[in-house]
Structure 1
Amino acid sequence: MKRMKCLLIFIIGIYMCTLLTAPAIASAHEPLIFTTKNTPSMNMTPFYWMVGIVGGSIAITLSYVGWRKYRAEKNRQSEDDSNN
């Protein structure tokens, strides 16, 4: 069961990486133009979405792990109290 879960996470990770790099690969034949000035036409919305999704995922994961640790310590403490 654990192996199946790891395989599923791996496949989802590969799929997500493919989605994120697909536009870069599709537009690789076009020349890259680097500018140093900020233009009003620059759209930062996709970047903010990416930061929000990644930051939210990290925050949710850390909250879940902290909650599991708190619950395990609480259970261990109640077991120690019942054994004494």
Structure 2
Amino acid sequence: MRKLTRLVLKNFLCIIGIMVVQGSVVYAEPNQELVHKNVAMTPFYWVIIIVGGCIAITLTYVSWRKYKGEKKKKKLKEDKTVD
């Protein structure tokens, strides 16, 4: 296991050394088509978030009301007192 760790570490250090010795840095420029495409999709993402959020909130509320109703129904069934 130690031999494997040493080998991996040695290879990693060799790669880092080669990168440092080369010394040339290349900066990528963003593709303008992709930037415009992402900006155009932003309103679509907002619509998805808003509609999905409304659906999630509605389903949560309905589930909570159903839970409370079943709990109340069960309590009324167990209550055998006569008025």
TM-score bucket (shorter structure): 0.5 to 0.7
| Alignment match, 1:54 | 51
| Alignment match, 1:82 | 79
> What is the TM-score with the length of structure 2 in the denominator?
0.52
Q: Which runs of 4+ in 1 moved over 6 A?
A: none
Q: For 1:72 and 1:62, how far apart are their aligned partners in 2?
A: 15
| Alignment match, 1:69 | 66
Structure with greater helix share of residues: 2
Percent identity at matched positions?
A: 50
Q: CA shift at 1:69, angstroms?
A: 0.2
AA of the residue aligned to 1:61: T
Q: For 2:73 and 2:80, how far apart are their aligned partners in 1?
A: 11
Equivalenced residues, count: 46
Task: Please list every run of 5 or more consecutive structure 1 residues that lacks an aligned counterpart in the other structure.
Answer: 1-38
Q: CA shift at 1:83, angstroms?
A: 2.3
Larger Rg: 2
